[in-house]
Amino acid sequence: MSTRIAVVTGASTGIGEASALALAEAGFEVYAVARRAERLEALAQRHPDIHPYPLDVTDENAVQRFAETVREAGGADTLVNIAGGARGTEWVAEAKTEDWEWMYRVNVLGTMIVTRAFLPQLRAAEGTVLNLTSTAGLVGYEGGSGYNAAKFAERGMTRALRLEEAEHNVRVIEVLPGMVHTEEFSLMRMGGDKEAAEKVYAGVEKPLTAEDVADVVRYAVTVPHHVSLDEIVLRPVAQAAQHKVVRKG
């Protein structure tokens, strides 16, 4: 029986890092992708089946070279697109063009570029694409317009991809997490302001963790292939909806 090969982007931190570990522990050979080589090397030390591959997912030529590397190693049957993120909480009236451009480039174009490069392998393997979007792709909120716009776009692309690839028996899954407390997401969004980043989670009893989401990712890509968990929304119980978060204390 040949080893299953998974590609996980955004693997240097948070949900991507946890997902790479979860898939390696589930028996996959995992190519862990992110820009920060030192973080990937540290991750690879935690499991022998994780292969670090430093890469900017928006660099089309580099992504194509990477896809060829994986093809020569046997070809991927699972692609997990997690690379992305948010920058800023400004309302549209004060929106920073550079932040919006960054969010669109990484969340949308990066996902497209990597998926396009790997689709020949995934079609040959009758494999799986899993895109991590967000509940920010379901409903807008004040201060979220740029991230909303990027995640609505990534969600639209994912839904179209599912229709386009059905004839190739490529399964397309979307995981939409709500409030997840990770090391860097809110810190990046708040421009490195640790106090502002922690206020996002203040008083919230048990926000989701990266490992919680990684468990869902692992499950979604390991159920029998004819079972497609098209859309999985997960939130902490304290976040009943995007606009309702129970805070204690």
Please identify every residue annotated as catalytic.
Answer: 147
Burial 164-193, CB ≥16 within 10 A → b, else e = ebeeeebbbbbbbbbbbbbeebbbbbbeee
Q: How far apart are the first and last CA of the chain?
A: 54
User: What's the sign of the alpha-carbon dihedral 33, 34, 39, 41?
Assistant: positive
CA distances from 124 to 33, 67, 76, 121 (A): 22, 14, 9, 5
Q: Which two tokens stand for residue 208?
A: 């989701």
